Structure 1
Amino acid sequence: MTYLDFELEISQGAGREYPVRVVHSPAGEARETMRFPFDTLALESRLKDLQIALLRSGGKTRKMPLPEEQAVQDFGRALFEALFIGEVRSRFDMSSREATHKDLGLRLKLRIQSPSLAALPWEFLYDSRQAEYVCLSRNTPIVRYLEIPQPIQPLTVTPPLRILGMAVSPIDPSDPQLEQLDLPREKQRVENATKDLRERGLLELTWLEGQTWRDLQKAMRAANPWHIFISSAMAVLINEPTKV
């Protein structure tokens, strides 16, 4: 699918207010000031709820209960409504209509200058008007733009594109009740998404057998280079320095 770009920059701010600028879009530029919707304590609580909801959604037998799904939606909705305000929202809506009219997608590019904001999961932006997460629509993917002090060198690949996948479920010795990710399900999602390319010989997908960094290091030393590495994993904090 071909996309138009909606490039949005969040600059360093003061307190909970951050300058937001539409750098480039089909509908032109705009500037607004975003007021971040959570204070420190509220953000910690929301992120904890988000972690619990996501962990349970990856369980083998349990589906995400409605209250937890609602917590994820509420978090994403608060971020969306804080970010897309005033002229920024107007430009986004106008750009969406133009993309639809041209039978194109609208790619949301995020430039986030604040390290604390960059660490947040903006991929959960939820548009309540459409009743969907922005990034889950193939028409509106979200990408993060990282500024680097050198030109980007294109990667030329002779097919097949070789992908190394690693699926890891969390282990916490102090919590035997910790739910595990449904690894077969996670792998199946990737395999379904790449089925057409694999059948056409354009892509090779290999799953790493082990689940440790040593296993990964060994695989990375393979004679034939990998072009892409993907990981389906969940980290669990351990109460010891330098351990996750």
Structure 2
Amino acid sequence: MIIENSVLLLKTQATEGASDKYVDLLIRNNFEVRQVKTLVFQFKNIDALKHKLKNDGDYSGLIFSSPRCVHAVYLATNDTKSLIDSWQSKHNFAVGEATYKDALDKLSLECKGKESGNAVNLSKVIMEEKFIHQKPLLFPHGNLKTDTLSRELEKEGLKIEGVLVYDTITNPDICEEIKQVTDNFRAVPEYVVFFSPSGLHSSLEHLQNIPDFCYAKLIAIGPVTELAMKEKNLDVFGVTRKPTPEDVLDVIAGR
């Protein structure tokens, strides 16, 4: 059975206490929204990150590739608020609007790159000021990071110094959560939105237990997720241009 005018969001664990803009926008547009956490995060090496942040003179600025990277810096500086102050005058960058907003709200850091949407585009933003960056950029990251950003920057002679600050793991309760939002595998929302290849891989096996899953309209957040879906021989209903709630709504509405 297909649940009409409903959307299933398959995305990573939300930041604690944060509202979900995807849910808010879809509800305002008269869709029923169901959610499953595909991935959860375990933070690590926070003391090592704190040590690097204390040595701010060694770096030109920070790169945030996700809200989790922002949260790791928040954890490292939360007991010493002044620690982040010296980074406010540096050249800081963030991939996407959600990460930009988190850096501003949690750390009071103004970052460039909120319109970038992916690592390749962010590298172009950073390279616009490449002669400013005489020192490495500090790059807190997760265990699933790709080498795209460092590769693009190193082509231009820019250096980044990475520090692993969280592991991404499959939500251990994902099967039960999918069971709950699909009425015990008997129904599937009309639209199913995959936010990442890793989220796709962690959820697809369970979703394919639903008899009518093949009739759902599958949406990819960005071309990388689209490619992962096609590699699984899935029919892709639409692909967002950017990872925003408005783009998801545009795809659903056929705009």
Q: TM-score, normalised by structure 2?
A: 0.23
Bigger RCO (CA 8 Å, 6+ sep): 2
Tell me which protein shows more helix as a share of its residues: 2
Alignment TM-score, normalising by the size of structure 1: 0.24
